[in-house]
Structure 1
């Protein structure tokens, strides 16, 4: 991460503290991922946006939304935007209960999420790799095939020198260290996409199905948010878990190269994510699935993320604020994405996303 990006993150955090103090409200650990900014001055299409927007949800895109909100303050001085990184599951529930104006989610809406059918639209924003991060003394490069990965996360493989891991890593000396699997304990779109990948890439091996939550083996360990999983991995010699690319890099974690559909071991990167996006089929509602995509250079665990907006806002002014902010995310915001380790949308998908906003009433 470059110094300017780090500075903007710090400033965004300072602004959040000020916002909370002025509001006089309490919080809990989930609020540690909040971002809130009062935008600075500027004469432009966003300059007349005035009011407050509240959003919350997925932690997977939190670094991108933090950066975008911090930059947005330079062009929308009268608008305050906050984003509370509480996980996709809670974000959808809060949105359905009208506690927020928009929601971040990496997974699609289910009947159990409390969001009424027909009341929302998906707006894709960015995509990024989900890394398989690990902490293993003496092993700086690691390769994992889908079936081996599935067996590790199902606790069928429990030590690092297991024959299946050795077969994926010829010539590498693997220790007998016990494997400690780390996963999300909260409802998470990252979990949804990671388990969807395993279901698609290792269908005869993966038995835990997919979803925002799954029934992990009792021997595994859970933590909230991507940052919590990253911390579990860092604190455990032999640890392994799934973490978004941005948080994995910021935490200094090592991550494995994953065997893709074409049989190539590919490490997580923005180039690999972009290759996965190019082959994804876009549905009419603008959801799409780049997981386990074909292509020699494709990183196979590439996940999309979306902003949920309402089909109708009772307050016309609120509708304009939402449309203005999300338009910024899709236009100027796309240039910020690579700075914080996210892949921007392909042009064709970006055009469809902008057209989606015209459906809001």
Structure 2
């Protein structure tokens, strides 16, 4: 039996409607997804942020913890909606960001010095010794303290370009001229002696955990989650301080933010001495109104509701006046 013209028209209309609905659903799904990559230092915090943000808004934020260096490269390559770094991009890197860039400070945190000396607790490391350990000038634990084991020090560092490494080497370069001349401040330095290398913060933590006599550096949350011993590090005031939220807050309390929302926290007056900030990198021009609006909403949530999560994971908050200035800058994203 043949179909009438009316029936055919109805079928065609229904099919077109189905296609439109199907494509509309795909488009909505794409609009509800934001992709980012970068620093491993804040990864535990960002995982929590994005899980809570999805509960609150339904928007999925995919974050790939690849390290600050790789995050900056992906941001330059425009393969992500935002990058993340613990070290401000260099002038050379900024010059390659064709869609502009705004740095969003999200948190501060401590870089813990972790070690593996079975049966040895509460190791104290002086300002004089720390830089010399990480430049290969002090090679045995007994050189750190005569009461420590006569055992070689196995230094563990990052295998990738790392903002955590830049925070750490920047502090050591500030307090130790010999470290500054031999190694210097860098995301991926030439250490100048034999070191063990692990990828990202969790790779360094794992390598220290399995290597007798090892010493390394990780964001404090990774030390705690891996149940690693953390050293007491001598600060500018002369105190030996273990990383903690209270001591990180004390160190960050006097920080002054620059107009681009960077800040110098290389050697604080008191508190835990090795601390740093971490930032999201967002474009100033997204060339897509819907994506720009999504990113702006996410950033504003992080600067307000998200800050309430920071201290639960041992990260410091961004001061409210600074967060308000950043939020005003975010309004100019297009």
Question: Under a length normalisation based on structure 2, what TM-score does the superposition of the two structures give?
Answer: 0.87
How many angstroms apart in 2 are the aligned matches of 1:139 and 1:260? 22
Structure with greater helix share of residues: 2
Alpha-carbon contact 2:99-2:285 (below 8 Å) kept: no
Q: Which residue of 2 aligns with 1:241?
A: 216
Q: Which residue of 1 aligns with 2:309?
A: 336
How many angstroms apart in 2 are the aligned matches of 1:89 and 1:205? 22
Q: Unpaired runs of 5+ in structure 2?
A: 1-29
2:191 is the alignment partner of 1:212: no
Alpha-carbon contact 2:135-2:179 (below 8 Å) kept: no
Report the CA distance between 1:218 and its aligned residue: 3.8
Q: Deviations over 1:34-84 (max 9, x none)?
A: xxxxxxxxxxxxxxx94211100000000000001111111111x221000
How many angstroms apart in 2 are the aligned matches of 1:69 and 1:274? 24
TM superposition outliers: structure 1 runs of 4+ over 6 Å:
none
Q: Which residue of 1 aligns with 2:70?
A: 90
Report the CA distance between 1:97 and its aligned residue: 0.6
Report the CA distance between 1:324 and its aligned residue: 0.7
2:108 is the alignment partner of 1:134: no
Alpha-carbon contact 1:57-1:90 (below 8 Å) kept: yes
RMSD across aligned positions (CA)? 1.7
For these two proteins, the number of residue pairs brought into alignment is: 304
Q: Secondary structure at the match of 1:73?
A: helix
Distance 1:142 1:117, change over 3 A: farther
Alpha-carbon contact 1:179-1:239 (below 8 Å) kept: yes
Report the CA distance between 1:310 and its aligned residue: 0.6
Alpha-carbon contact 1:277-1:346 (below 8 Å) kept: no
Q: Secondary structure at the match of 1:211?
A: coil
Question: Under a length normalisation based on structure 1, what TM-score does the superposition of the two structures give?
Answer: 0.81
Q: Any residues of structure 2 matched to 1:1-361 within 5 Å, and which?
A: 50-77=31-58, 79-113=59-93, 115-116=96-97, 119-162=100-143, 165-166=144-145, 173-206=147-180, 207-295=182-270, 298-361=271-334
Q: Unpaired runs of 5+ in structure 1?
A: 1-48, 168-172
Higher RCO structure (Cα 8 Å, ≥6 apart) = 2
